[in-house]
Structure 1
Amino acid sequence: MKEPFNRVGFLIGWVSVITQFILMLQNRQADIVETIIRFFSFFTILTNTLVALYFTVHTFKIKNRVLFLFYKKGTLTALTVFILVVGIVYQIVLRHVWEPKGLQLIIDEMLHTINPIFVLVYWILFALREDVNFQNIKGWLWYPVIYFAYIITRGYFSGFYPYPFVNIPEIGYKQLFINFILIFSFIILLLAILIAFGRKLKHNII
């Protein structure tokens, strides 16, 4: 039962990320190198890429030192939390910012709605007891911290900020700090909910 889900996750993950990459290149507002850097400056893209890699590793049973992280206990729950953050923040904060059309609209929904829902369903079906142990997940909390540090540093030198709630020239450092605390707290809240709920799932207590 798990293998078909892995293949579907692999397919929708890479189709959405790769197609978005092509669309961004076609509509770029900077040179190619800068556009590629900007592409991977979006938390949405980084997280969807991590999810696509997770399903790739599990679909093709890839085992090496580079991708060992995707077999570690707790990784599935961490990725589920982050992709849910992508979806929820988009629906609440970012959906009104722009109105994509055509293929861009489809890919936008895949990245921010379909993929998060699919990963949540996958987590409900296949998460194990070890995946909802906070000790196995806590290392992943560095991911959003490092991400914020990166975009703030790069934004300072390049002037490019991927999201309005991290645009320091517009909102200032105080509001940036508040936004970071709110988002990080939301991540912790989602993590706590998934851990509490996961421990009650039948397949987690067998």
Structure 2
Amino acid sequence: MKKTILLILAILGWLTLIIRLYLRITEFDFSALESTIQFFSYFTILTNVLVTIYCTKQLLKKEEDKPSLFTKAETLTALTAFILIVGIVYHIALKPIWNPEGLTMILSEIHHTVVPLGALILWGLSVKTDVVALKILLKWLLYPIIYITFVLIRGSFSDFYPYPFLDVNALGIQSVLVNSFFLLVIMIVLLFIFYFLGNLVRKKLVTD
């Protein structure tokens, strides 16, 4: 079951990322370089890339391989939390104002619905055996912090902000910083929930 989900997420991940990048480059009036940079400026895309790499690494790893970033239990827990944030924010804040059609709609639903649910199932199958260190888990907060910093710095030069709630031109830097703060708080809360939930499940298995 676990290997099947890993395989499905890896295949879907690479296919959708390649197709969406191609569409981004060919459908917008920007250079290939600018289109590519904008494409990877979305937290959705970056997090889907990380989930896809994780699944691929898990499928290819061997018993004799040394532990790496994408084989650690903390990585799956963190990525599950982040990809769920991607899905939640999309369905609550973005989907009502963006109505893609055809292939774009299918690819978007894969990235915002199918992959988050798949990652959650994968985490549920792994939580019984995976021991997570809170200190290492919280280090993953550097990922969204670096991401937001990059978006704001680059946006000040390019005027491109991937999400309405990060658009400094429309909202002002103060509102964007407040939005970013609340997003980080939600991420921290979700990381703690997954951490304590995982410990609870493992303790229950030990006592049963």
8 Å contact from structure 2 (residues 138, 191) kept in 1: no
CA distance in 1, matches of 2:57, 2:130: 21
Distance (Å, rounded) in 2 between the aligned partners of 1:52 and 1:113:
15
Q: 1:150 to 1:64 in 2, by over 3 A?
A: farther
Letter in 1 for 2:146: I
CA–CA distance in structure 2, aligned partners of residues 46 and 147 of structure 1: 9
How far off its partner does 1:196 sit? 2.0
| In 1: Cα distance, 2:170 partner to 2:188 partner | 27
Q: Which amino acid aligns with 1:37?
A: I
Q: What percentage of residue pairs aligned between the two structures are identical?
A: 37
Could you tell me which amino acid in structure 1 is paired with residue 160 of structure 2?
F
**Residue 70 of structure 2 aligns with which residue?**
70
C-alpha separation in 2, matches of 1:61 and 1:154: 36
CA contact (8 A) 2:25 2:31 kept: no
Aligned residue pairs, count: 204
Alignment of 1:43-122 (within 5 A): 43-61=43-61, 68-122=68-122
- Counterpart check, 1:155 vs 2:125: no
8 Å Cα contact 1:73-1:136 kept in structure 2: no
Q: Which runs of 5+ in 1 are unaligned?
A: none
Structure 2 residues without counterparts, runs of 5 or longer: none
- 1:39/1:81 Cα in 2 relative to 1: closer, same or farther (>3 Å)? same
So what's the TM-score if we normalise by structure 2?
A: 0.91
Q: Does the 8 Å contact 1:129/1:199 carry over to 2?
A: no
The answer on whether the counterparts of 1:13 and 1:52 sit within 8 Å (CA) in structure 2 is yes
In the TM superposition, residue 106 of structure 1 has moved relative to its aligned partner by: 0.4
Counterpart in 2 of 1:130?
131
Q: What RMSD, in angstroms, separates the aligned Cα atoms of the two structures?
A: 2.0
1:199, distance to aligned residue in structure 2 (A):
1.7
Going from structure 1 to structure 2, the CA distance change for 1:27 and 1:71 (only over 3 Å counts) comes to same
TM-score (norm 1): 0.92
